[in-house]
Structure 1
Amino acid sequence: MLGATATPAERRAKFRELLAGDQIVQFPGAINPINAQIIEQTGFEGVYISGGAFSAAMGLPDIGLTSLTEVADHGRNIARVTNLPTFIDADTGWGEAMNVARTIQEFEDAGISGMHLEDQVNPKRCGHLDGKEVVTAAEMSKRIAAAVKGRRDENFVISARTDSRAGEGLDAAIDRAKAYVDAGADLIFPEAMRDLSEFEKFASSVDVPILANMTEFGKSELFTTEQLANVGVKVVIYPVTTLRLAMGAIKSGLQTIRDQGTQVDLLEGMQTRADLYDTIDYAAYNDFDAAVFNFSQEGHQ
């Protein structure tokens, strides 16, 4: 009740434990706090906070229009309610080296467990669109080094995402990843891989865990966790899945209400009031309130 019981430090330590473990872990994207609660209650290992999903929820394209303050506040609201590690999209870090250092400290203060930085130029583009441009490997290495220097909690996970596969080829992308590891990256995020063999080559070429982005309608096939684990992937994210599920259902439901003049045919697919109250632990709030208002100072000096 009233938020997570695990501290931010405990959740960061858990993220490190997951990365060091033998099993592949899944981080579905949360578009809001109750979404994160459902992810935890469903049994997933972590929560991903997607910049693309947040932009879309604000009615904006994923081209770097959201500010650090907006994203940090969004992340704080989600991290507050879940005991799971939270992993957030930091885009290009909102500026140069000192900005990147501030970014990581803002996310630490927000209770986030880790973030990923990407090597695109600013303004960035969605990782599964054509026409992306990347900065030099040296410039991206500076971003990573700045993040490492700015980090105050050594368990906060810094991931380096490379979008260079499309424009420079697989071998060059792997060379970049190695440079990012040398700069201090704890996790490598190779974006828009074309098949399992590319994930496998990345995993065998770097000395830190790698992440797979299983976003729908993108460049990568939607592989199972078993397939990804077999080629060495450690973390899987599903960035926009819950947003797409929700928006698809909302659009269909609104059309039904418009056509029929009532939502009666939609009730079976809705979250019930009872399930909503269970999800947000409504009873615990009532118990807390009752305990406070039943308190009496009678007999106390």
Structure 2
Amino acid sequence: MADPRLKAALKAGDFVVAPGIFDMISARVADRMGFAALYATGYGTVASHLGVPDAGIATYTDMVSRMARFAQGSTTPVIADADTGYGGLLNVRHTVMGYEAGGVTAIQIEDQEVPKKCGHTPGRRVIPAEEMALKIEVAAEARRSDDFLIIARTDARTTLGLDEAIRRGKLYAKAGADIVFIESPESEEEMRRIGGEIDAPLLANNVDGGGRTPILSAETLKSIGYNVAIYPAIGFLSVAKVLEEAYGHLRQRGDSHGLDIYPFSGMNELMGFQEVWDFDAKWARPERKQAAE
């Protein structure tokens, strides 16, 4: 079931910073950090799971089990990317039911045409606003708990302009979205206008490494009307950089000496091996216990 803490944090006026997770190692590391939420990124999850671009290739079947694993393997509320809801209205209903049953706390649905594209890449096209509003109504009706939050994202800014993006944001909030996500504003001034004109909780997408939107501090975002900031790429971009350096070191030198890496003992602890060892010790046959001693 959805975790009520995220909704409570927003109601209390807390600003929520959510790091991007893309596999269970990133989820376990982030889960220890004390964040109010984790953001299960579609781009990173598709890349790590399938090794393909986030361009509408992954299906509901590909994603629902991954998102459920993130939620069930974390103690922190999980916000999960669900692309377009993977189809029409019936697909949206099915997606909401599946994500909620998996333990996700908030689901993000966008108004792109199928196949969708990553929000900070070119060539995105959107469906009519009224069709998306129906998706939001269906999503809100399909959820079993009010603690399960609906995030409505519009990609209209890049192709149709800021006025249309704001109009859509207002429409989606009226249709039942708990949080509005205007993707890819291109300046702080645009973000201030969004914060001033949309009377609903707002999400900012901080894409490290070259996104279209300026990355503002949590303090600034809160002051201009935002409530949530996601950092979807910070995890997988950091990991890719470190892997490139480590593998390059190994290829060039033929050994791993001198690398600053995570300790193997720490990884064992992170993955929960101590519980396995404790279990084995408890249930080992007497002769095996004597051999171990």
Normalising by structure 1, what TM-score? 0.90
Listed as ranges, the matches of 1:215-254 within 5 Å are: 215-216=207-208, 217-254=210-247
Show the counterpart of 1:20: 11
CA distance in 2, matches of 1:29, 1:272: 23
Contact 1:196 1:231 (C-alpha < 8 Å) held by counterparts = no
Which residue of 18, 24, 44 corresponds with 1:33? 24
Mean CA deviation greater in 52-61 or 212-221: 52-61
Show the counterpart of 1:281: 272
RMSD: 1.7
**3-state DSSP of counterpart to 1:161:** strand
Show the counterpart of 2:79: 87
**3-state DSSP of counterpart to 2:94:** helix
Matched residue type, 1:105: M
CA distance in 2, matches of 1:226, 1:152: 34
Does 1:139 find its partner at 2:125?
A: no
Show the counterpart of 2:165: 173
Show the counterpart of 2:36: 45
Does 1:118 find its partner at 2:110?
A: yes
Matched residue type, 2:237: R
CA distance in 2, matches of 1:191, 1:173: 8
Listed as ranges, the matches of 1:188-199 within 5 Å are: 188-199=180-191
Gaps of 5+ in 2: 286-293
Matched residue type, 2:102: A
**3-state DSSP of counterpart to 2:226:** coil
Mean CA deviation greater in 126-135 or 83-92: 126-135
CA distance in 2, matches of 1:37, 1:272: 15
CA distance in 2, matches of 1:292, 1:231: 58
**3-state DSSP of counterpart to 1:83:** coil
Matched residue type, 2:230: I
CA distance in 2, matches of 1:152, 1:209: 21
Listed as ranges, the matches of 1:282-297 within 5 Å are: 282-291=273-282
Show the counterpart of 2:65: 73
What percentage of residue pairs aligned between the two structures are identical? 31
CA distance in 1, matches of 2:148, 2:281: 38
CA distance in 2, matches of 1:151, 1:215: 29
Structure 1 residue 289 displacement after superposition: 4.4
Structure 1 residue 70 displacement after superposition: 1.2
- Alignment CA distance shift 1:113-1:289 (3 Å): farther
CA distance in 1, matches of 2:95, 2:19: 23
Matched residue type, 1:67: T
Structure 1 residue 39 displacement after superposition: 0.8
Q: What are the Cα deviations for residues 34-61 of structure 1, in whole angstroms up to 9, with x where unaligned? A: 2112112122111111111122222111
CA distance in 2, matches of 1:37, 1:212: 24
Show the counterpart of 2:289: none
CA distance in 2, matches of 1:198, 1:23: 23
**3-state DSSP of counterpart to 1:265:** coil
Show the counterpart of 1:270: 261
Structure 1 residue 86 displacement after superposition: 0.4
Matched residue type, 1:172: E
Gaps of 5+ in 1: 1-7, 295-301
Normalising by structure 2, what TM-score? 0.92
Does 1:158 find its partner at 2:158?
A: no
Matched residue type, 1:88: A
CA distance in 1, matches of 2:207, 2:186: 13
CA distance in 2, matches of 1:188, 1:43: 24
Contact 1:197 1:231 (C-alpha < 8 Å) held by counterparts = no
CA distance in 1, matches of 2:141, 2:173: 14
**3-state DSSP of counterpart to 1:106:** helix
CA distance in 1, matches of 2:233, 2:242: 14
